[in-house]
Amino acid sequence: MGCFQELCRRWEQYVLDHQAYTGSFEQCKSWVVAMRRKLQSQADVKGDKRSVQERIEKLQVCDEIYASNWSRVVKRCH
C-alpha cells in the first residue's frame, strides 16, 4: 500500500509542477504579445519629425523594458 501512495504522491506533484509551468508559460506569452503590440504600434514611420521622434522615444522605452525583463522571462519559461 505504501508503494501505491508514494506513486500517487509523485504523480500529484507532477501535476502541480505542470500547472506551475503552464502558468509561467502563459505569463511569458502574454509578455511577448504585449511587447509585440507596443512595437507594432510604433512601427509607422510616417509623420512629421516630432511624431517620429516621439515614436523613437517610445521604442527606446520598449527596448529598456525588453532588456530589463527578458532574462526574467526566459527563466520563468524554463
- Side-chain half-sphere CA neighbours of 36 within 13 A: 6
What's the confidence (pLDDT) of residue 57?
86
Which residue in the block uniquely carries the three cell numbers 509607422?
44
Q: pLDDT under 50 in the chain at which residues?
A: none
What's the predicted TM-score (pTM) here? Answer: 0.59
Q: How many domains does the chain have?
A: 1
pLDDT tens profile 46-60: 778 888 888 888 888
**What is the number of helices (H) and of strands (E) in the chain?**
2, 0
Contacts of 33 (CB under 8 A, 6+ apart): none
Q: How far is CA 66 from CA 1, 33, 56, in A?
A: 52, 12, 15
Q: Which domain range does residue 31 map to?
A: 2-77
Concatenated DSSP letters for 8-21? HHHHHHHHHHHHHH
What's the confidence (pLDDT) of residue 77?
60
